[in-house]
Structure 1
Amino acid sequence: MEIKTNVNKKHKEESNPSLGYYPEPGWEWQKPEPKTYLVENGLAKYARSWILNLVELVHWLPFIPAFILSFLIFQHSSALKLLLGTDVQVFLVLISPLILTFGGLTGIMMHEYEGWQVVYFQNPLDSDLNIKDCNNEWLREVAYKLLFFLQGAGLLAFSLGVFGINKITLTFAIVSGIIAFLGPQNPKATFTLNKQPVFPLAITILVVFIINALVNFVAYFHLFAPVLETVQQPKLLAVSAPFLFMLGGMIEGLLAESTFNQWWHFTAVIFLNLGMIVQIYLFNLLW
């Protein structure tokens, strides 16, 4: 039985399923030309191929320190178990950086679709979107939802690893997961910055994320402050890693996505990489 659609036959015949947005033959370093919005607003100079390749590179780099950190935790699991208490807690701390890093793939997927250009976002649900002109707002909203859900899961894993699993922490984890996953996608926390709408994230997910981020700050301080005091370093360094993560996320979500200057995009992910490196340093103090 033939399935009828609203797409006419001509469009279906002319559509090429193999057609891509990137220049032929599609080597990874080949990036699309600056989008129309960037050209018309004098921002194309920030979207040269070599700049976009740098932006892409720093997005993939966090996988290296994430795997290094997870291996170090695995290698010193016995010492960490003495500090935390159980194998389950060690496991949760071990997978935390992996969840956080692989959660970032949602953003990488969006950037790959966009040609690694942060540009004005247009919603295809109420307009004729042309990917060569601007970016897909609905895709951004979906990416934000999955990104913050997975980032929240990574933060939660670390906090559970530090504080252990009991009635309070388990209830907190279950409630956080249910609200973040099943909560309504509207209303969103969107507001205007530099005359551009930013932060298209459901308020339910945002509230859960903020609470988990605060708990995560406490967990970092609880785990690392004593050892920092032992080596005569400021105890505030204990929360430097999550602070760098937060700073990087804010720069990307607020500045990069409102100014469309790709260097802000690059800078944001540099802070994320620095956060991963600081994590490795802090954990090495525990062994």
Structure 2
Amino acid sequence: MTVDNYTQNSDPSKGYYPEPGWEWQKPEPKTYLVKHDLAQYARVWILNLVEFVHWILLVPSFILSFIIFQHTEILAARLGTDLQVYLLSIAPVIQAFSGLVAVVMHEYEGWQVVYFKNPLDTDFKIEDFNNEWLREVAYKMLFFLQIVGLIAFSLGVFGLSKFFVSFAMISLVIGFIGPQDPKATFYFNEQPVFPIAISLVAVFVVNAIVNFVAYFHLFGPALEAANLPIILAGLAPLLFMLGGVVEGVLAESTFNQWIHFGAVIFLNLGLLAQIYFFGLLW
């Protein structure tokens, strides 16, 4: 049996980043960006800013979780059980950790959004393009964990009735074991975007709708009591959706890092909106 061996001049641990690899050091703009006059959007300080707003998402997520935990008695009286409060408290944390899947992908790509090329059927160099297969795997895990977070929030609001528990279990099973093909990929700006299995998208959409209703069920009375428009209850999920669309469709078809930055700002605003609306409950 023979195995491939590294030569004395090779380094199996060598990374894509400049040496010595401080976090603020970023790779040079990928060849595709240079050839298409997009390298100006991939300057080191811009990429560091994009990375920062991704990591900062963890802060409001944990703050929201702690605020919910702090008011367990009030929420338990409103919702019915401590378990529902627990599910509400872990929902933002689950969704925050789902975002870490994207962070891993971005770290691998040097925080650059570039033309995606599949290494499975093309000549691929990380210095030139982004990895399409990595994107597909990351999207699968991202959307599945997002579904888990949506389910936790919805169960926290509506309770653990047989119907909702059954709905949650079916969603998790289909979302996890569903086929990876066919995908819901479509073209925008002449670029393929949204490489996610149709089965996973279907489960996500259904749970997002249920989650949207849950926001109105939870926050509607509090908004009315505060003389605020009830329609504001849908602000947070709409901001989350907007952030996802801007990043997954616009940023990944224009390869403009500023659009990528703006997408994550919407996600942060969604979390801040959640924190504000939860404050109306006590």
Output the TM-score relative to the length of structure 1. Answer: 0.96
Give the total of aligned pairs: 282
Q: Does 1:160 align with 2:155?
A: yes
Helix, strand or coil for the counterpart of 2:192?
A: strand
The residue type equivalent to 1:151 in the other structure is: Q
Q: Does 1:30 align with 2:25?
A: yes
Pairing partner for 2:16 from 13, 18, 21: 21
CA shift, 1:15, in A, is 4.0
Counterparts of 1:87-126 in structure 2 under 5 Å? Answer: 87-126=82-121
RMSD: 1.0
Helix, strand or coil for the counterpart of 1:104?
A: helix
Structure 1 unmatched runs, 5+: none
Q: Please list the CA deviations of residues 76-125 of structure 1 after superposition, one character each: whole Å capped at 9, or x if unmatched.
A: 10000011000110000000000000110000000000000000001010
Helix, strand or coil for the counterpart of 2:160?
A: coil
The residue type equivalent to 1:31 in the other structure is: K
Q: Does 1:283 align with 2:278?
A: yes
Pairing partner for 1:269 from 255, 264, 270: 264
Q: d(CA) in 2 for partners of 1:148 and 1:162? A: 21
Pairing partner for 2:167 from 172, 188, 204: 172
Q: Does 1:233 align with 2:263?
A: no
Q: Please list the CA deviations of residues 193-252 of structure 1 after superposition, one character each: whole Å capped at 9, or x if unmatched.
A: 111100000000000000000000000000001110000000011110011000000000
Helix, strand or coil for the counterpart of 1:217?
A: helix
Closer, same or farther in 2 for the Cα pair 1:153/1:12, shift >3 Å? farther
Helix, strand or coil for the counterpart of 1:184?
A: coil
The residue type equivalent to 1:16 in the other structure is: D
Aligned to 1:63: 58
Pairing partner for 2:39 from 39, 44, 52: 44
Q: d(CA) in 1 for partners of 2:180 and 2:59? A: 33
Q: Does 1:257 align with 2:252?
A: yes
CA shift, 1:129, in A, is 1.0
Structure 2 unmatched runs, 5+: none
The residue type equivalent to 1:241 in the other structure is: A
CA shift, 1:128, in A, is 1.9
CA shift, 1:14, in A, is 5.2
CA shift, 1:13, in A, is 5.7
Q: Percent identity?
A: 66
Q: Does 1:86 align with 2:81?
A: yes
Aligned to 1:74: 69
Q: d(CA) in 2 for partners of 1:200 and 1:246? A: 17
Q: d(CA) in 1 for partners of 2:54 and 2:18? A: 21
Output the TM-score relative to the length of structure 2. Answer: 0.98
Q: d(CA) in 1 for partners of 2:7 and 2:216? A: 58
The residue type equivalent to 2:93 in the other structure is: L
Pairing partner for 1:208 from 203, 208, 217: 203
Aligned to 2:133: 138
